[in-house]
Amino acid sequence: MKKAGVLAGLLTIGLLAAIVAGCLDSGGGSPSAYKGPLIRYHFAGRAHLPTGTNALIYRTIDALPITAEVRADIAQKLAAGALPFWKKELPAGVGDASAIFRPLLDDFQVAEGYLEIRGPLSRTESVLAVELNDARAQIWNTKLRELTTAWKLGTPRDVTVEGVKGWEVKRAQAPNTLQFFRTDKWVLIGLSQDANAQLPALLKQAKETGRPLLALSGHFLEFSVDLPRLKPLSPLLTKFPLPAIVGTVAPRGADIRTEARLYFSTRLPRTESWRIPTQAISEPLTSFTAAQGVGPLLSAIAANSILTRGT
């Protein structure tokens, strides 16, 4: 089975990390109600974070030197994992591409970026849009061309879609088409089997408005991940009945608030009426979590932990 692409694996980590960035509000998503893509991710970018006193604590932490070190460490580890992730899908003898992926991952963590991966897993279609200045866009162009050589993907050829010039490379294996475009302040990349159904609309909007997608409003990060459909990618996802997750991260005064709606594949047990001790809860609130019907899941996690320790 073909993988969803290296960014699918990388962004799954990022999306799950976003959930724990603030408090988690589990909504009443009904079984099978989620009809979105495998993964969608849209970050406003550091340059477009809330200003003034909004999300002040988040911006203070974001500006710390240790935060930059953590981002660099994450980028390096993910870059090093690119070849092992793709190795079975590549020709024999291809080289390590850490130096190629590293600057791209550095940019993706701080620039406004959008990723959408549609299924099924056996025939995924991905689009990536990143806001970059001319110098960084040229680095992406150069590095991705280097990747086509290092991983023996084929020879890039010029292509024009919706009046936007770019290049593409095709190979025999699926997904067989990698495309690169630069328009205004954006780099757009597509990875698909033959024609990419998502790219033309994004390129058209970028050419007409200067943006391939609408700017985020009211929050600075939105994400969704269909964990049930991603089960074949990780043994961990087969152990627990994890739901599809749709969420946002937004400023809440000086703090931030993470809201997530969970869509389970089966109905949850009937629960009692909520009796939240509102009289005992007051601001400033560091963290508050309440849940019902999670006993079976917690028991399964505990059982698996025991089994893991015993092996």
What is the predicted pLDDT for the residue at 302? 66
Residue 158, classed as helix, strand or coil, is strand
Residue 102, classed as helix, strand or coil, is helix
Q: Can you tell me the distance from the alpha carbon of 102 to that of 77, in angstroms, rounded to the nearest whole number? A: 9
Cα distances from 27 to residues 79, 99, 290, in angstroms, run 35, 42, 12
What is the predicted pLDDT for the residue at 303? 62
- How does 88-99 read in b/e, with b if 16+ C-beta sit within 10 Å? eebeeebeebbe
Give the HSE-up count for residue 18: Cα atoms under 13 Å, Cβ half-sphere. Answer: 27
Q: Can you tell me the distance from the alpha carbon of 57 to that of 251, in angstroms, rounded to the nearest whole number? A: 10
Model pLDDT for residues 246-302, shown as the tens digit of each residue: 999 999 999 899 999 988 877 766 667 777 777 777 777 777 777 777 776 677 666
Q: Can you tell me the distance from the alpha carbon of 22 to that of 219, in angstroms, rounded to the nearest whole number? A: 13
What is the predicted pLDDT for the residue at 30? 52
Q: Do the beta carbons of residue 155 and residue 168 sit within 8 Å? A: no
Helix 65-80 to helix 98-108 angle (10° resolution) is 140
* E-state strands within the chain: 39-43, 113-118, 125-131, 157-161, 164-170, 177-183, 186-192, 221-226, 244-252, 255-263
Token duo for residue 17: 């990390």
Q: Which helix (H) or strand (E) holds 171?
A: none
Low-confidence stretches of the chain (pLDDT < 50) are: 1-29, 307-311
What is the predicted pLDDT for the residue at 247? 95
Q: Is 64 left (phi over 0), alpha (psi -120 to 50) or beta?
A: beta
What is the predicted pLDDT for the residue at 16? 37
